[in-house]
Structure 1
Amino acid sequence: MIVRVGWDSPLTAVTGKATTKVVKETGFATVGELLEHYPRHYVERGRLSDLGELTEGDYLSLVGQIVHCEQHSYQDRRTKRTAYRLEVRVKAEDGVLALTYFDRTKGSSDWHAKEYAVGRVGLFSGRLKWFNNHWELTNPDSRMYVEDGDVLDRMPALIPIYKAVGKLNTWQIEETVGFALDLLDEVPETLPDAVRAGEDLIGRAQALRWIHHPDDFSQLGAARKRLRYDEAFVTQTVLARRRSALRAIPASPRPGREDGILAAFDARLPFTLTAGQARVGEEIAAELAAAHPMHRLLQGEVGSGKTLVALRAMLQVVDAGGQAALLAPTEVLAQQHLRSIEGMLGDLGRGGLLGGAEHATRIALLTGSMGTAARRQAMLDAASGDAGIVIGTHALLEEKVQFFDLGLVVVDEQHRFGVEQRAALTSKAGNPPHVLVMTATPIPRTVAMTVFGDLDTSTLSELPAGRGDVQTTVVPVRAQPSWLERAWQRIREEVAGGHQAYVVCARIGDEPPAEEGPELHAVEELAPELAQGALQGLRVEMLHGRMTPDDKDRVMQAFAAGDVDVLVSTTVIEVGVDVPNATVMVILDAERFGVSQLHQLRGRIGRGGHHGLCLLVTGAAPDSPSLERLVAVASTRDGFELSRIDLEQRREGNVLGVEQSGRRSELRLLSVLNDEDVIVAAREAASAYLEQDPDLGATPGLRGAVLAIEESERADFLDKG
């Protein structure tokens, strides 16, 4: 009697008790989760990859026939005993590849020698290594096929290769998947019939069989098309439900006033808003005046004026009798926001104080390291409502911090905060507050649509007048060590011309040395070295996150005032720091920074109408991916193009908040960068379907998939992000 299993049956139903422990290590709890672990690639029968195009570290899988097998003895360096290795050569249609198996005992080596006898055909997978002037796989996984008859004709045309999970290798996964497909009673259909027909997609059950065991590339293509759309449709259904739920939540309207502080502020502006700032400002103003909470993502290039747009929104809320909180990721940035907003408001920011304007409000700063008296006063100003604008770090999230009437939450650099941290701040409002999320890392349209699908997105693409051009140059010190000295000379030249410079390091100086790779430059070591050497005679100061808040503020104010020529810093100056007179930046060990981070850092110069120079100093090897990444940064200042490069490297898993949620990515086949047409179609179809079936009762499979996401930790990111 054959026992059938269901989609939600425990995985042990198809693996048996003997592998229960291994199953736990995979992280898969059900049969359905196993079947959604798709092959990462496929090997064509009898094909060997072109060895001329391979690079060390590539994961290679090939089918071939063994043409050489020889055993050798050697002395094991660790045990000082005689050990054995098996040297094998495998021939396929277009080349020969070496395999080496290392064994501790002669017995196991003898077994391998028999297993890999000349003439046998097998499938071999492993990491490629260049050794003794030839490519080889060391201790690769292997699966040998029968010895008699026409072996290749009876092998599958496309052999699936799976990423190993736990202690299961690709062959074990393939066998378990095949067993599950044979026993599976029914696959829940996640797409409504009309949607599936409209997109000309095969059924989900057929797609799963073809993704795991395709007979040819046409079957594989049809399966991928269907399952890719599945991922887009389910995700967009979750986000559409979220948008619908947000529209149903009541909020306190915060309309503007013609005679309020915002009008007074606008009348004093010494410049005209850019077209983008005016357009986005109107969008935000209308949403703040509505009876349901605004949830908007404001993105733009470094220096595009996001802070000004956010300040105008905060002033509108203050005009309506409410308060606004600005959450910043670091104390340096919080202090910078305070100085910037105080400078823009002038006497409009000194409400209740001597010299304050008639419609003025008060600004409070709250950080974790403030003194007791200052901290108590800031908390009192927030709780009493005396402070219309409260700027702070994680200290704002503490339970004892209360607001009189919190109407708007502005989150700067949202990716630096976890889900629960952002939610903790919005929970301090009596009614759900309006939320404005800012990021200076531009996000491609389809990424924003997928990741922030429950937020309306506004983009500032133009820079205000007066921004200087910034030339970026890669300084490859491995090939050209003398170029570093030229970098220090360029700093001296800029300072001689009346300007200032940043030098950015990846370390502070008191961290333990890295276990591998060259030691990185450190702020505490480099600052005195430069002051006494290459930059002797210049005023050099250091800045890093472990300095006391007073010391950090003192250094930043001195640098902003022009009393410091060169600031040697960590990435604490990455966002928010505005020193218009800084025209040159040297980033050491630049290969250790991400694309978006380099773009952010570079945005600190060229802010005062002066042309800037950014030097990316690196010891990365020629033709390495690290060096290619730096060349890409140097080639463009288009933040949207750079964000695509960054996301291609980080993959969608991180984009969807996996690091915050602790779960693996829900996207397996869908690429938010490459499948724009699929995402757009799925978004429109999901929204239309929800109008007909809000509870998803007509498609139980879709309802189950959506609820599984909404109930998971990942839903916290989607709901509160």
Structure 2
Amino acid sequence: MPAPRKKPATAVAAKKAAKKAPAQTPANRIADKLARLGLRSDIDKVLHLPLRYEDETQILHIADASRAFGRPVQVEGVVTACEVAFRPRRQLVVTIADDSGPLTMRFLNFYGSQVKQLAEGNRVRARGEVRHGFFGAEMVHPTYKMVNEGAPLPTGLTPVYPAGEGVSQAILRKTIADAMARLDWHDTLPEALRTAHDLLPFEPAVKLLHNPPPDISEHALADRSHPAWTRMKFDELLAQQLSMKRAQEARRAKGAAVLNKVGSLSQAFLQQLPFKLTSAQQRVLQEIRHDLQQPYPMQRLLQGDVGSGKTVVAALAAAQAIDSGYQAVLMAPTEILADQHFRKIAGWMEPLGINVAWLTGSLKVKEKREAKERIETGVAQLIIGTHAVIQDDVQIPKLGLAIVDEQHRFGVGQRLTLRNKGVGDGTATVPHQLMMSATPIPRTLAMTYYADLEVSVIDELPPGRTPIVTRVIDQNRRDEVIERVHAAALEGRQVYWVCPLIEESEALQLQTATDTHAALSTALPDLRVGLVHGRMKPAEKQETMDAFTRGDVHVLVATTVIEVGVDVPNASLMVIEHAERFGLSQLHQLRGRVGRGSAASVCLLLYQSPLGPVAKERLRIMRESTDGFEIARKDLELRGPGEFLGARQSGQAMLRFADLETDQWLVERARDAAQQLLHNDPATVEAHLARWLGSREDFLKV
């Protein structure tokens, strides 16, 4: 018989330690749950403002409540029956009654303690929507409390707070009330500032939101237009502006390489371009050149619509860094996009004697080692690649400029790693940084979340770009679309056919692309149909892309890997299947793959009926506008700021109270006030940031 196995010493020690550890008290357990909601300090709790309000100031007779459909009502009655039923599923069914009749309360999820609590003869006050059930009027999962006969009603609206698991409204109300009794209510805003912007003092504004008086406008509270909400929004926006601007000042206090030489490379680069820069490109280039000549790091966002010519401006910025004796790096989020940049920029730079290195994760070991040696010895003056350029084992000794394309698709940590590569000769600590985005950012969003950046906008397309006509077509007319694809190919044009984005399953998306490729190959036997998707090996993907660029492939079936960066002037027809599944920004990016040559270009948006209201609105906007800034503004209205910000705000909650669409006027006031306070009142700045951000201010410094 084998000897019993001994438990590892560490496991035994852990068990003994667990026995010795004191059990958590109920108060500690509640504190832990509140901490998970971000409620640690008194000010955290006081600023945990209501999500909505419930009117518990009146009670309806049950008979009257039965006629009040579609809105929550409150009733009171005595329990006449309470039983656990098992058909059609286990549930607690409670009947209460008043003088006007009975009402059933039905709980599909319940605790054993509720059965005892709701025993016959007990008086209940319940609130919810009444509906007609099989046995008459009923409420499903109403909120309720046990009361004595004649218990007083609230005199004002009852706040309902954002809650978490195991944290009831009763716990939150008591926690917040206790914190309010302890809080130092000093106002962080000077009286002159409050008067100038017609703002309520802090204490009465907060107390009103937690305990609304009986005569208050319920509508003004619900839509957050009440002056008390205005004060909260202003304070929140001001804290964000102050933090962003202070982060900007902190960056400016750091040293950077002075890239002040616009020399022979920059001049030769401009002269050999087969086109002339637009006035918008020239204006933006001058803004960047000025920044690069400063002794503090540039932090500039370069944005422009699809096809506006951001790449050549970035290349000219890199030329200035190289002219000044430093290295430049360009990092792109996908290998396809990085490869497009490499081919285009290397095509411009290498004939001028510039050594350009290519670095991605898919390179063979020997190729990667050789590329890293060229970078680390300073032989490579320009490095283009994907995330591989920020790996720990990649040293860039004289990094003067870091360019990040489609910056919102990189995480905070990735961009910081690139920035912290620094310059190794001791003359500077942080490289200049140029971030590019082909998703135009609405002005309000830029003012709020990018307040710490300088923003350059290329608001003009190069001459010769043909307007893109957009058509919205029902999926039932797919055969007509295939005929149109065939006709375009016979005229010598090339076609993109983008497969639907299926968020739930990458495997399903791949299958859709594969099936579409097979179906089009069968339907168009005289054409060459290529396929590109995210699961292909980089070499296979590149081979297909090269064939499409050369014109050897007539129709390219693709997933959204071709969303940005692909530039084939001969492609003039774009078909986007199940367009209703895409966001506005993505549809606009995809559409921008055509219209790059002289031929009239068309984008066909295939959709599956029936369409929901949001999808219908998105397709309408796409049909009516090709202006990326207008589309971005509409996208902000439909989806909020998250899509534009990407990982930039990782670790930080979006604005809790202010709404960037309806509160634009407040954003502008907060920005101006922040500027004045930073220059004239540092004590107010410190006090306001401590109250509103505390330790979270670091999240905004990325």
TM range (shorter): 0.7 to 0.9
Determine if the alignment matches structure 1 residue 523 to structure 2 residue 509: no
What's the offset of the Cα at 1:15?
9.0
Aligned to 2:380: 387
Please show how residues 654-665 of structure 1 align to structure 2 within 5 Å.
661-665=650-654
Aligned to 1:715: 698
What's the offset of the Cα at 1:236?
1.0
Q: Is the 8 A contact 2:532 2:558 kept in 1?
A: yes
Amino acid of the structure 2 residue aligned with 1:676: Q
Aligned to 1:3: none
Match of 1:376 among 369, 372, 388: 369
Cα 1:136–1:461 change in 2 (3 A) is farther
Distance 1:203 1:669 in 2: 17
Q: Is the 8 A contact 1:121 1:147 kept in 2?
A: no
Aligned to 1:244: 249
Amino acid of the structure 1 residue aligned with 2:361: G
What's the offset of the Cα at 1:255?
1.9
What TM-score do the two structures reach when normalised by structure 1?
0.81
1:45-97 CA-to-partner distances (Å, cap 9, x unmatched) read 6799xxxxxxxxxxx8733447999989965456xxx755468999xxxxxx9
Distance 1:47 1:468 in 2: 65
Aligned to 1:10: none
Amino acid of the structure 2 residue aligned with 1:462: E
Cα 1:104–1:188 change in 2 (3 A) is closer
What TM-score do the two structures reach when normalised by structure 2?
0.83
Distance 1:545 1:492 in 2: 26
Cα 1:61–1:231 change in 2 (3 A) is farther
Aligned to 1:617: 606
State the identity as a percent. Answer: 36
Determine if the alignment matches structure 1 residue 449 to structure 2 residue 454: no
Amino acid of the structure 2 residue aligned with 1:139: H
Q: Which moved more, 1:20-29 or 1:371-380?
A: 20-29
Aligned to 1:5: none
Distance 2:247 2:286 in 1: 24
What's the offset of the Cα at 1:245?
1.9
What's the offset of the Cα at 1:612?
2.5
1:471-506 CA-to-partner distances (Å, cap 9, x unmatched) read 3333444xxxx2222222222222122211112224
2:612 is paired with a residue of what secondary structure? coil
Cα 1:602–1:513 change in 2 (3 A) is same
1:545-598 CA-to-partner distances (Å, cap 9, x unmatched) read 221221111111100111111111111111100011112222223333222112
Aligned to 2:343: 339
Match of 2:541 among 540, 552, 558: 552
Aligned to 1:295: 299
Q: Is the 8 A contact 1:472 1:613 kept in 2?
A: yes
Cα 1:274–1:650 change in 2 (3 A) is same
Cα 1:669–1:651 change in 2 (3 A) is same
Determine if the alignment matches structure 1 residue 257 to structure 2 residue 256: no
Aligned to 2:688: 702
Q: Is the 8 A contact 1:523 1:569 kept in 2?
A: yes
Determine if the alignment matches structure 1 residue 62 to structure 2 residue 68: no
Aligned to 1:284: 288
Distance 1:227 1:510 in 2: 38
Aligned to 1:180: 179
Match of 1:585 among 565, 570, 574: 574
Task: Tell me the number of residue pairs that the alignment of Structure 1 and Structure 2 aligns.
Answer: 650
Cα 1:253–1:610 change in 2 (3 A) is same
Cα 1:178–1:548 change in 2 (3 A) is same
Determine if the alignment matches structure 1 residue 668 to structure 2 residue 659: no
Distance 2:142 2:277 in 1: 62
Amino acid of the structure 2 residue aligned with 1:689: L
Determine if the alignment matches structure 1 residue 491 to structure 2 residue 466: no
Aligned to 2:556: 567
What's the offset of the Cα at 1:663?
3.9
Cα 1:30–1:73 change in 2 (3 A) is closer
Cα 1:521–1:545 change in 2 (3 A) is closer
Cα 1:485–1:148 change in 2 (3 A) is farther
2:486 is paired with a residue of what secondary structure? helix
Structure 2 unpaired stretches of 5+: 1-24, 60-69
1:164 is paired with a residue of what secondary structure? coil
1:396-437 CA-to-partner distances (Å, cap 9, x unmatched) read 001221224211111000011111111111222222211110
1:272 is paired with a residue of what secondary structure? coil
Distance 1:42 1:104 in 2: 25
Cα 1:295–1:660 change in 2 (3 A) is closer
Q: Is the 8 A contact 2:245 2:452 kept in 1?
A: yes
Q: Is the 8 A contact 1:85 1:109 kept in 2?
A: no
Distance 2:132 2:342 in 1: 56
1:606 is paired with a residue of what secondary structure? coil
Cα 1:563–1:115 change in 2 (3 A) is farther
Please show how residues 411-450 of structure 1 align to structure 2 within 5 Å.
411-430=404-423, 431=428, 432-450=430-448
What's the offset of the Cα at 1:687?
1.8
Q: Which moved more, 1:492-501 or 1:646-655?
A: 646-655
Amino acid of the structure 1 residue aligned with 2:202: R
Aligned to 2:154: 155
What's the offset of the Cα at 1:331?
0.6
What's the offset of the Cα at 1:21?
5.0
1:193-245 CA-to-partner distances (Å, cap 9, x unmatched) read 43223323222222211111121137871211111110111111111212222
Distance 2:138 2:496 in 1: 46
Match of 2:356 among 352, 357, 363: 363
Match of 1:678 among 644, 666, 683: 666
Distance 1:510 1:536 in 2: 33
Cα 1:201–1:362 change in 2 (3 A) is same
Aligned to 1:4: none
Cα 1:72–1:485 change in 2 (3 A) is farther
Match of 1:306 among 295, 303, 310: 310
What's the offset of the Cα at 1:442?
0.6
Determine if the alignment matches structure 1 residue 270 to structure 2 residue 270: no
Distance 2:411 2:113 in 1: 54
Distance 1:241 1:387 in 2: 36
Cα 1:582–1:131 change in 2 (3 A) is farther
Structure 1 unpaired stretches of 5+: 1-13, 49-59, 91-96, 351-355
